[in-house]
Amino acid sequence: MTALAENIEKLQGHLARFQSAGIQNRIGGRDHAGSGVPFTTISPVDKSVICTVARGTADDIDAAAKAARDAFPAWRDMPALERKKILIRVAEGIEARATEIALCECWDTGQAWRFMSKAALRGAENFRYFADQVTSARDGQSLPSATLMNITTRKPIGPVGVITPWNTPFMLSTWKIAPALAAGCTVVHKPAEASPLTARLLVEIAEEAGLPPGVLNTVNGYGEEAGKALTEHPLIRAIAFVGESRTGSMITKQGADTLKRMHLELGGKNPVVVFDDADLDRALDAVIFMIYSINGERCTSSSRLLIQDTIREEFEAKLVARVNNINVGHPLDPATEIGPLISDEHFAKVTSYFDIAKADGATVAAGGVTVGDDGYFVRPTLFTDATNDMRIAREEIFGPVLTSIPFASEAEALAIANDTEYGLTGYVWTNDLTRALRFTDQLEAGMIWVNSENVRHLPTPFGGVKSSGIGRDGGDWSFEFYMEQKHIGFATGQHKISRLGALD
Ligand code: NAD
């Protein structure tokens, strides 16, 4: 049996339960059908219906927010060590079911097995990391004076809403939910409608690990219905959102009436800048990895290649040969490097840029075509002869599509790199240390890697500037978001108090 056939057989075993019962919402530790008419989730691999999904409405969000509110005091007051133990058991549960999670994720999203099998384990790492942080969340910072002890404490903010997108949905959900739970918050999670399977697996694993009912609730449904109701609900104190910049702006408005704290992780049009003094073989590997892995459906992907004109011809020629050699295929085949795009709508969006590029005067140097009729497959694509004012250089395509733009000088590279509404990540390839420091200091991005692809270390801050987001995740930054700072001034002596209306 081939590895692909083996994976398909295993997947069928895991899908059977979804096919017979559909996906229910999970509220207060119980299954709920959802008040709306259920919708279906479709596999991008062959456009087949995977299963029906509960359609949550404002009523279901209300029930989930109340469950989160009711569960909050006990979860907040649970001793940190006990909370830590539960979160570690969640990590163990994810590890135990990592294959099932990865298979479902591949089938639901079209992502290749070779990446998703690692992403599932990364989800466990997110829980393990924040479980370890539970006992060290800052509390009780004290700045004593002779007569007043200043105490700073940090308290979980309350029930929070987590809204996640369809790209690597399991990893991103754990990335938001683990620190929220570690901080002592309860959660209502609204997963993306296009990829609901693994959110269901997560809530099951969490409850099996001992998470009390109502601490994590999952309400499926559409953004403008269930998502909107979550951002507007008065019991929900904060929203952690990952998705498009346009949606981020919308939910900020929706949350204004209830003064929601918002954390927004949004889109990107990230530059990778390759200077002629770089290690060009490593740069080539990284450029290819950072746009064509995970189908290019990745906020941190380097979708704009800024290449120094002295090496442009040779670098682009090597790029074309490698891109043409990338293996597009069934996501469950371990040999596959690129699977199908998530949906009909997204397929139409990504492929529309093939004509847009040509109309704007760019060259389609590789790809620019679809593959077969069964699913949403496209060949990895490279546009050359591009300028930064073309739509292919300005808009987030969110697929395996790279736009190559030449530059002559460091100043020009910096100007092009910063000439974008986005500012999530940047990648710089040079062996000139002074230039690297100067360039990264002026590059407008929340996260930058020098001579490296994106390597994420959990204690470091994650987030973007400009239209790429507001706020930071990672390490203690996550707790800053999910907790309230509180000051208590405690008199330890008798300082002078101004006396108004004194009678003596
Ligand atoms: P999207 O904005 O369309 O949807 C994201 C989520 O928001 C979904 O769950 C959706 O149902 C919900 N939603 C939509 N409208 C809503 C509304 N009015 N109120 C409340 N919720 C609403 O994004 P997508 O297409 O699912 O994901 C792709 C986008 O996510 C890309 O732009 C990508 O760059 C971005 N992304 C960013 C990061 C990051 O860390 N910066 C990470 C991953 C993805």
From atom 10 of ligand 1, which residue's Cα is the shortest distance away?
A: 223
473 in contact with ligand 1, CB cutoff 6 A? no
Looking at the structure, give the CATH architecture of the domain made up of residues 13-266+475-487. Answer: 3-Layer(aba) Sandwich (3.40)
Domain spanning 271-445: CATH superfamily: Aldehyde Dehydrogenase; Chain A, domain 2 (3.40.309.10)
What pLDDT score was predicted for residue 140? 52
pLDDT, tens digit (0-9, with 9 covering 90-100), for 409-455: 999 999 999 999 999 999 999 999 999 999 999 999 999 999 999 99
Closest CA to 161 of 224, 232, 83, 103: 232
Place of tokens 């529309």: 352
166 in contact with ligand 1, CB cutoff 6 A? yes
The angle subtended at Cα 477 by Cα 164 and Cα 249, nearest 5°, is 45
267 in contact with ligand 1, CB cutoff 6 A? yes
**CA 243 to ligand 1 centroid distance, Å:** 2
251 in contact with ligand 1, CB cutoff 6 A? yes
pTM, entire model: 0.93
What pLDDT score was predicted for residue 382? 98
pLDDT, tens digit (0-9, with 9 covering 90-100), for 30-51: 999 999 999 999 999 999 999 9
| Cβ-proximal residues to 9 (8 Å cutoff; 6+ apart), any chain | 1
Using CA atoms, how far apart are residues 484 and 382, in angstroms rounded to an integer?
Answer: 46
Closest CA to 423 of 288, 265, 307: 265
pLDDT, tens digit (0-9, with 9 covering 90-100), for 47-69: 999 999 999 999 999 999 999 99
Computed over every residue of the chain, the mean pLDDT equals 95
Using CA atoms, how far apart are residues 273 and 430, in angstroms rounded to an integer?
Answer: 9
Query: Which of 111, 162, 167 to mutate to test ligand 1, by most ligand atoms within 8 A of the CB atom?
Result: 167
- Angle between helical axes of 113-133 and 80-96 (0-180°, round to 10): 170
Closest CA to 410 of 389, 428, 386: 428
Q: Which two tokens stand for residue 18?
A: 């979804």
What pLDDT score was predicted for residue 368? 98
What pLDDT score was predicted for residue 255? 98
CA 35 from chain center: how many Å? 28
**CA 435 to ligand 1 centroid distance, Å:** 35
What is the torsional sign of CA 191, 193, 197, 198? negative
Asked whether 272 and 361 are in contact (CB, 8 A), the reply is: no
Share of the chain above pLDDT 70, in %: 98
pLDDT, tens digit (0-9, with 9 covering 90-100), for 127-176: 999 999 887 766 555 555 678 777 788 899 999 999 999 999 999 999 99
What pLDDT score was predicted for residue 237? 98
Q: Among 299, 316, 337, 444, which one carries the catalytic annotation?
A: 299
What pLDDT score was predicted for residue 488? 86
Position 492 confidence tier, pLDDT thresholds 50, 70, 90? confident
Using CA atoms, how far apart are residues 504 and 502, in angstroms rounded to an integer?
Answer: 6
What pLDDT score was predicted for residue 489? 85
What pLDDT score was predicted for residue 446? 98
CA 95 from chain center: how many Å? 20
Asked whether 252 and 264 are in contact (CB, 8 A), the reply is: yes
106 in contact with ligand 1, CB cutoff 6 A? no
Asked if the domains 13-266+475-487 and 271-445 are classified in one and the same CATH topology, the answer is no
pLDDT, tens digit (0-9, with 9 covering 90-100), for 213-229: 999 999 999 999 999 99
Among this protein's residues, is 265 annotated catalytic?
yes
Torsion of CA 133, 136, 140, 146, to 10 degrees: -140
Using CA atoms, how far apart are residues 241 and 252, in angstroms rounded to an integer?
Answer: 10
Domain locations in the chain as residue ranges: 13-266+475-487, 271-445
